[in-house]
Structure 1
Amino acid sequence: MLTRRNILQVGGVTLAAFAVRPLVALGADTIDLAMTGRPDGSDVWFDPIGIHIQPGQTIRWTNQDAGNAHTATAYHPSIFDRPQRIPDGAEPWDSDYLLPGETFSVTLIVPGVYDYYCLPHEHAGMVGRIVVGDAPAADYPATVTDAALTALPDVALANFPAIADILAGGTIRHE
């Protein structure tokens, strides 16, 4: 038999569960990121450029740039011999070229920092960073020690938002 006391207890437990859940995870399970740019093509970017999510959430990139095709490509040696900038054990991804209006999604399970880029626009600084769950606030080193791997361009390295800023703000927008 349900009593007023039982109902209040269940409600209180439910409320407490939501109160201790991190704010970043209260949103939808799918997080949308835009691939966009200026109409004249002089600047291209991901928006947001940095985001903090919880393990198991899905990131969906949508190409909103009418003038360009874009990719969302993880930094990983198995994809174009790039340095690994995703957690050990995480699956690397490459969206292939997305035309305007097309989307690509990936679900991130392994906690850590995931850096990614747009293949044709990496030299224009089109990169992004996703922090999944709890992660150290230290950034990746800027150098590549394996000569077989292709180093990141300086403009790409300069555009990654700091992990500490992502953890503090949850979302970093392109400026």
Structure 2
Amino acid sequence: MTIFRVFAATVALAAALPAAADEIPVKMLNSGPNGMMVFDPAFVRLKPGDSIKFLPTDKGHNVETIKGMAPDGADYVKSTVGQEAVVTFEREGVYGFKCSPHYLMGMVALVVVGDKRDNLEAAKSVQHNKLTQKRMEPLLAQVQ
């Protein structure tokens, strides 16, 4: 078998295999690049099957799904304060997350999985306090 055939067979095999899923780290911080009580990054794009590892870099944080800000059928997430949480995203759509103890201080994040945005309008309609809304609006504006 020539080198070209071996290379072509390797490329064909690699194309047939499913892409490896990514795991993205997201820090939960008392103070970060975008202010106090933040997720870093606060906006993440993923492929279905990818995961986020939420890291309580500073103590006293958790991650929880914001009601009304997840695709139908998606698992509800609520981690223990101070513990890492790995969340794998199988359903496409828009997901909103909060740190339960610091939600009123605007500690929110937005995750977009895949290309479907069926729940975007529902996510936009969720009511937040003034500070949280101020942080959520620019995140939602990044969804295309």
Fold similarity call, TM over 0.5: yes
**2:64 maps to which residue?**
73
**1:5 maps to which residue?**
4
Q: Which portions of structure 1, spanning 4 or more consecutive aligned residues, are displaced by more than 6 angstroms?
A: none
Secondary structure, counterpart of 2:87 in structure 1: strand
Q: Give the whole-Å Cα distance in 2 for the aligned partners of 1:30 and 1:70.
A: 20
**2:85 maps to which residue?**
104
- How many angstroms does 1:12 deviate by? 4.5
Higher strand share: 2
Q: Give the structure-1-normalised TM-score.
A: 0.67
Instruction: Specify whether residues 159 and 135 from structure 1 end up closer, same or farther in structure 2 by C-alpha distance, changes over 3 A only.
Output: farther
Q: Give the structure-2-normalised TM-score.
A: 0.79
Structure 1, gaps ≥5 residues long: 77-83, 144-150, 168-175
Q: Give the whole-Å Cα distance in 1 for the aligned partners of 2:66 and 2:117.
A: 18
Contact 1:116-1:128 at 8 Å conserved across structures: yes
Q: Give the whole-Å Cα distance in 1 for the aligned partners of 2:69 and 2:130.
A: 15
Contact 1:32-1:61 at 8 Å conserved across structures: yes
Identity of aligned residues (%): 27
Q: Give the whole-Å Cα distance in 2 for the aligned partners of 1:120 and 1:37.
A: 12
Q: Give the whole-Å Cα distance in 1 for the aligned partners of 2:51 and 2:124.
A: 27
Among 35, 40, 43, the alignment partner of 1:50 is 43
Contact 1:51-1:166 at 8 Å conserved across structures: no
Q: How many residues align?
A: 138
Q: Give the whole-Å Cα distance in 2 for the aligned partners of 1:62 and 1:162.
A: 20
Among 124, 135, 143, the alignment partner of 1:141 is 124
**1:154 maps to which residue?**
130
- How many angstroms does 1:89 deviate by? 0.9
Instruction: Specify whether residues 104 and 12 from structure 1 end up closer, same or farther in structure 2 by C-alpha distance, changes over 3 A only.
Output: closer
- How many angstroms does 1:5 deviate by? 3.4
Structure 2, gaps ≥5 residues long: none
Q: Give the whole-Å Cα distance in 2 for the aligned partners of 1:162 and 1:119.
A: 18
The reply to whether residue 87 of structure 1 matches residue 71 of structure 2 is yes
1:71-93 deviation digits (Å, cap 9, x = unpaired):
100012xxxxxxx1100010011
Q: How big is the alpha-carbon RMSD for the aligned residues of Structure 1 and Structure 2?
A: 2.9
Greater Rg by CA: 1
Secondary structure, counterpart of 2:90 in structure 1: coil
